[in-house]
Amino acid sequence: MPYIANTDQQRQKMLADIGLTMDDLFADIPDDLRIKDLKIPNGLSEQQLRSRFSALSGKNAIDLTLFLGGGFYDHFIPAAVSAITSRSEFYTAYTPYQPELSQGTLQAIYEYQSLICRLTNMEASNASMYDGGTAMYEAMMMALRITRRNKVIIGDSVNPIYRVMIHSYTRNLSIDLVETKNDNGSINRQSLIDSIDNDTGAVILQNPNFFGIIDDYTDIAEACHAKGALLIMSAYPISLGILKTPGEMGADIVTGEGQSLGLPMSFGGPYLGFMATRKKYARKLPGRIAGRTTDTTGKDGFVLTLQAREQHIRRDKATSNICSNEALCALNALVYSSLLGKQGLKEVAQLCADKACFAYEKLTAIPSVYPRFHAKPFYNEFVLDLPCDAADVVGRLIEKGYAAGFPLSRYYDGMENSMLIAVTEKRTKQEISMLAEALEAVL
């Protein structure tokens, strides 16, 4: 049994035995970066601690009317979702290694995979991913393994947060990452098609894109396949209730953020990445896949059929080392979607689109407020150009009770006055009209 030092005296003795001091252990850290004093206050009683945290939480602006988007959306979540998913049989188990003890969990994963396949019009899905950004990275690596190439083309109208993550993950890899510029909010079609060559392993696009613009990438998929490349599409799952699916466009791998399927925004997580592909590529999927089978008596049963991650095989043979399964979040998505049903999902998707159109008309009627991308079809998000700095306007609208939008200057040059606005089924006509009044007053 290893020796554990529990006191300062024991730690000092251990260091003395090996001829070191505590300062020696941190010698590589420059002195100006070291914390000299943690300034930890004295402990509090439970009652004092509750009062302290209540006072701190009261500083959070939790009553804002949200018009934020950019990949994360304020949708209505029926109370039945948490009532079902908070049952103890769902949240106690993590990995169902023993199928004879985990039939409920395995079936839930299997049904979730079926949901994702139906939404995206693909043939195989894994058991879920960490989030939308890492799912996109995993899809990229999967495409490069399939094509045995190292060039990736990604449009700058793909979510910039995801693009930052991809740049971070690929910094030390031998991948030729080419980022194309948008043309008035949409992909520059001819430029992108011309850049696809025999070295290209994957093209990554998003629909609706980060600016909310809807597109049909069927021609891009054909151009990819003509050169032996794969098309990866990031999708907003609610929009798939009414939009053409990635599968119908010819996409090879589909990813996205599943937060809109019954997960609260929760200060940024936990969230859910989904990932689906063609059947012929199923064995290249990272993570694990639940399958349906029969036992020796002919009864239906569920098992983990493919588990090509590092904890199941040699690390150098694994499809991924970061493919954490968000099983409880995936269950939320499944329960939410089952409660809505096919028609309910269509109705929510249509409400988002219709209310966004209403907001677009109300806001662009304000003097000196203009649409950034004219005559472009959008889903539930659109970009406005303001007569002044968008970040300043957003800050002033927060004071009036509105999280009005996402300033785009952080990720796009020349868009200091541009703001991305999202509208979901939760926003009422009254709230939209009041936002228009508040924006006009601020301007």
In this model, does residue 398 exceed pLDDT 80?
A: yes
Looking at residue 326, its pLDDT comes to 85
Mean pLDDT score across all residues of the chain: 91
Q: What is the pLDDT of residue 339?
A: 97
Q: Who wins on pLDDT, 316 or 156?
A: 156
- Give the predicted TM-score (pTM) of the model: 0.87
Q: Which residue, 390, 379, 377, is CA-closest to 419?
A: 390
Q: Give which of 138, 109, 422, 82 is closest to 291, Cα–Cα.
A: 109
pLDDT band at 1 (very low <50, low <70, confident <90, very high): very low
pLDDT tens profile 172-229: 999 999 999 999 999 999 999 999 999 999 999 999 999 999 999 999 999 999 999 9
pLDDT at 308: 58
DSSP class of residue 39 equals -
Mean pLDDT over 345-368 rounds to: 97
| pLDDT (average), residues 385-396 | 96
With the C-alpha atoms ordered 195, 383, 360, 374, is the resulting torsion angle positive or negative? negative
Mean pLDDT of the region 260-280: 93
Phi, psi of 301 (to 5 degrees): -150, 170
Q: Nearest 5°: CA angle at 208, between 202 and 212?
A: 130
Q: Which residue did the predictor score with more confidence, 273 or 307?
A: 273
Is pLDDT at 311 greater than 60 in this prediction? no
The dihedral built from the CA positions of residue 246, 303, 130 and 80, taken in this order, carries a sign that is positive
Q: Which residues contact 220 (CB under 8 A, 6 or more apart)?
A: 187, 189, 192, 193, 203, 205, 231
pLDDT of 62 = 72
Residue-wise over 401-426: b if at least 16 C-beta within 10 A, else e? Answer: ebebbbbbeebbeebbbbbbbbbbbb
Are 339 and 78 in contact by the 8 Å Cβ rule? The answer is: yes
State yes or no: pLDDT of 4 exceeds 60.
no
Over 90: is that where the pLDDT of 36 sits? no
Residue 395, pLDDT above cutoff 90: yes
Residue ranges of domains in the chain, CATH in brackets:
65-74+342-442 (3.90.1150.10), 79-336 (3.40.640.10)
Report the percent of the chain where pLDDT is more than 90: 74
* Residue 232: predicted pLDDT: 98
- The Cα–Cα gap between 267 and 269 comes to 6
